[in-house]
Structure 1
Amino acid sequence: MGERTEVYFVFMNFDPEYERLRNDRSKEGMEELDTYLSNKHDQLLEKLLPPNSYRKKSSLAIVDGFSVEITKHQAAILRSAKEVRVVEKNQEFA
């Protein structure tokens, strides 16, 4: 059996396109932002991690980040990517 996966939050570095889209508060603007971020986050994961080795849970438009189920080793790979600002393990609160 492989390494145990856990949920991590990945926060991206400053992205002028994200900032531009985020300033458009219309319904279309919000949909465009969601699509842009989802694609951007998917592309980052596809570029860095083997297919089917992770499970992206959601993109977070409010902070340009996403949650993903990955191993500790995969978290280290994402941490070293130039596009990524922070990778944090989800802390479960009892």
Structure 2
Amino acid sequence: MSLQFIGIDPHTGTGESPTVWVDDDTRELVIQGWRASAELEAACAAFEAPGHARGIPEHEAVVRIPARMVPVLREACDVAHGTDVR
């Protein structure tokens, strides 16, 4: 597996490190964020998306990342989609 580091939360402090990578093999975004609270997980689990059952599958997780990381996510999307002009 080859991960390409894209960026980290610009306000990272000790123990605070939301991070974004792109998996070069699968072209998927890999996101490290803050673990969701039980309250947030419950709210997400209660939401029913069209065509999907309620709940969070055992193999998935809810994470939070700060909105200030939107530019990092955009860059990761461009890299994963092959439109990055680095």
Which structure has the bigger radius of gyration? 2
TM-score, normalized by length of structure 1? 0.31
- Structure with the bigger percentage of helix: 1
TM-score, normalized by length of structure 2? 0.32
